[in-house]
Amino acid sequence: MIQLRKPAVAGLFYPSNPQKLKNEVLQLLSISVPPTISSNIFGIVSPHAGYIYSGSTAAFGFNLLKGKKIDTVVIISPSHREYFLGISIYNGYAYVTPLGEIPVNKEMADKLVDGRGNIFRGIQGHRDEHAIEVQLPFLQCVLDDFSIVPIVMGDQGQIFVDVLANKLNEVINQNTLLLASSDLSHYYSATEADQKDSIIEKDINDFNIEQLSNDLANKKCEACGAGTILTVMKTAELNKKNKSIVLNRTHSGNVSGDYKQVVGYLSAAFYGE
């Protein structure tokens, strides 16, 4: 068993030098100031591209976590590089970034295993996946002492969304944050991407899980981590945290200058009284 999950995309998606990485994250946080939300944040949606493209959008969500009492961050990721049936929770004891190790909350991870093979401890999906990894340096810069539960959804179908949301509802507490790692549409023109991504933006702002599910199923919009977003929203609903706000939405063309094929990014927060 691999005990430590070492960085796979350091030097590619973000700087591998610790000081350069910290400086870049702090710079992104300084320019991405979200509105004030007085309630505790239950969950966020955060993009997972290279920092040059989506880092400023991601920073909006992470800024909301400053000063919050968060002991454990459950990070739910799609699987970009390997398909497997079910949901894989990393079975090692820590993820590593250039800023140091982040321990896995083994107790919570073990409680999430459903015993039916839907949710299991394993390495599947974690080997080279970037969608969890790119979130971690931000968390290390805004939280003081925390653990993680790194989850990769090999299948984001409805049955697995429901299974994971129900299990999360059983084990999380008031000091747990849920994080859905997802980008939006891929490789459409900027105009078409905006049309598709604005639908997700509206559905999230309306906290309309059913409408978002339908819009995704009918191809009106898309997100590589659609199941991760729906899982966090369903868990929030079960906890009566059904307020939401989209903090920022953009696309890669704003950085690359290529508006013919862009990738969409969004950050959002879920909360309640």
pLDDT in tens, the chain (273 residues): 569 999 999 999 999 999 999 999 999 999 999 998 978 899 999 999 999 999 999 999 999 999 999 999 999 999 999 999 999 999 999 999 999 999 999 999 999 999 888 999 999 999 999 999 999 999 999 999 999 999 999 999 999 999 999 999 999 999 999 999 999 999 999 999 999 999 999 999 999 999 999 999 999 999 999 999 999 999 999 999 999 999 999 999 999 999 999 999 999 999 997
E-assigned strands of 12-136?
A: 41-46, 72-78, 87-90, 94-97, 100-103, 119-122
Determine phi and psi for 48, rounding to 5 degrees: -135, 30
pLDDT at 2 (0 to 100): 63
100, burial (CB in 10 Å: exposed 0-12, middle 13-18, buried 19+): exposed
Task: Give the β-pairing of 94-97 and 4-5.
Answer: parallel
Q: What's the distance, CA 27 to chain centroid? A: 21
pLDDT at 121 (0 to 100): 97
Walk me through the domains of the chain, giving residue ranges and CATH numbers.
4-271 (3.40.830.10)
Task: Give the β-pairing of 186-188 and 262-271.
Answer: antiparallel
Model-level pTM greater than 0.75? Answer: yes
Nearest to 271 by CA among 38, 35, 41, 66: 41
Question: What does the alpha-carbon distance between residue 190 and residue 250 come to, in Å, rounded to a whole number?
Answer: 10
Question: What does the alpha-carbon distance between residue 271 and residue 173 come to, in Å, rounded to a whole number?
Answer: 14
Does residue 49 come out as left (phi exceeding 0), alpha (psi in the -120 to 50 range) or beta?
beta
Ordered DSSP codes for 78-109: E-SS---SSEEEE-SSEEEETTEEEEB-HHHH
